[in-house]
Amino acid sequence: MVPVLAHDYPFELDTFQKQAVYHLEQGHSVFVAAHTSAGKTAVAEYAVSLSLKHMTKTIYTSPIKALSNQ
């Protein structure tokens, strides 16, 4: 089941994204590793949105400074 907040995306989430979103909603931490352009940022954005909603913290890391600046 995909949470309501995840329905705001203009595309259907892939299986790994749905699993990550589910675990985030359960209060678990997630680590996403996938190939370039797989959709990792969608999971990161969801985690940040969820953190803002619950007034908690999110840690986001990326190997390239340009990705962090986006």
Question: Is residue 4 very low, low, confident or very high in pLDDT (cuts 50, 70, 90)?
Answer: low
Whether 69 maps to a domain, the answer reads no
Whether 24 maps to a domain, the answer reads yes
Which pTM was predicted? 0.75
Does the structure show a pLDDT above 90 at 24? yes
Q: With the C-alpha atoms ordered 33, 21, 48, 14, is the resulting torsion angle positive or negative?
A: positive
- pLDDT above 70 covers a percentage of the chain that reads 81
> Computed over its alpha carbons, how large is the radius of gyration of the chain?
12
* Full domain range(s) for residue 42: 4-61
Whether 53 maps to a domain, the answer reads yes
What ranges make up the beta strands (E) of 2-59?
none
* pLDDT tens digits, one per residue of 31-53: 999 988 899 989 998 999 899 88
Q: Are 2 and 21 in contact (CB under 8 A)?
A: yes
Number of domains in the chain: 1
pLDDT on residue 66: 64
* pLDDT tens digits, one per residue of 59-68: 888 777 666 6
Whether 70 maps to a domain, the answer reads no
Whole-angstrom distance between the N-terminal and C-terminal Cα of the chain? 29
